[in-house]
Amino acid sequence: MAKQLHIFIAFFRSGILGFGGGPTTIPLVHKEVVKTYEWMTDEEFADVISIGNTLPGPIGTKMAGYIGYRVGGWLGLINALIATVLPTVLLLILLLGSLNQFNESSFVSGMTHGVIPIVAVMMGVLTWDFIKKSKTSLGIKLAAIIFAGSFIAIILLNIHPGFVIATLLIIAIILPSKGGDAS
């Protein structure tokens, strides 16, 4: 039962602190799953994000469902999903009424705008970690090519990130890995 409690705490904490929803919870889930509880490696977590982004629906619940199942079976899956959704539901019920009464207030406006730089820093730190890991695992040239190609496809050509990720997954499956065993 201690494992189930840890699953709940990890995802509840991520859910309650992940202001703004899905993508903002990724660094928080990463800290809990990889750093605090060591249920996954950085590479495994990156795989979860990659696959999760290709599937429909919110990334936070997809990650919670998979990681909860992997760590604690079906009970862990349900536990992680409840822990992920519960903070949002509770806060929505409690705060929506209050915020609607004060939505013209400079305090409420300042509070919501003040969180944006914090979320940007959290996403930047996670991005930097992934860049360092991809440089190590892929090499600087291949990592730069994938980064540039993805940037052009997503930002300049407005191609959905799911299609870009799916294309990269297909390429990774088709091309043999360097130094990998072909058998």
Give 102-118 pLDDT, tens digit per residue.
667 777 677 777 777 88
Q: How far is 63 from 26, CA to CA, in rounded Å?
A: 9
Q: Residues near 53 by Cβ (< 8 Å), separated by ≥ 6?
A: 59, 161, 162, 165
Evaluate whether 9 touches 1 at the Cβ level (below 8 Å).
no
- Under the banding of pLDDT at 50, 70 and 90, the label for residue 183 is very low
Q: Which of 76, 109, 106, 110 is nearest to 7 (CA)?
A: 76
What's the rounded Cα separation, in Å, for the pair 32 and 52? 18
Q: Using one digit for the tens of pLDDT, what is the confidence trace for 23-54? A: 778 888 999 999 999 999 988 998 898 888 87
pLDDT by residue (tens digit) across 116-135?
Answer: 788 788 788 878 887 887 77
The pLDDT of residue 54: 78
Position 91 scores a pLDDT of 79
- Name the residue with higher pLDDT: 2 or 182: 2
- Cα distance between residue 31 and residue 63, in whole Å: 13
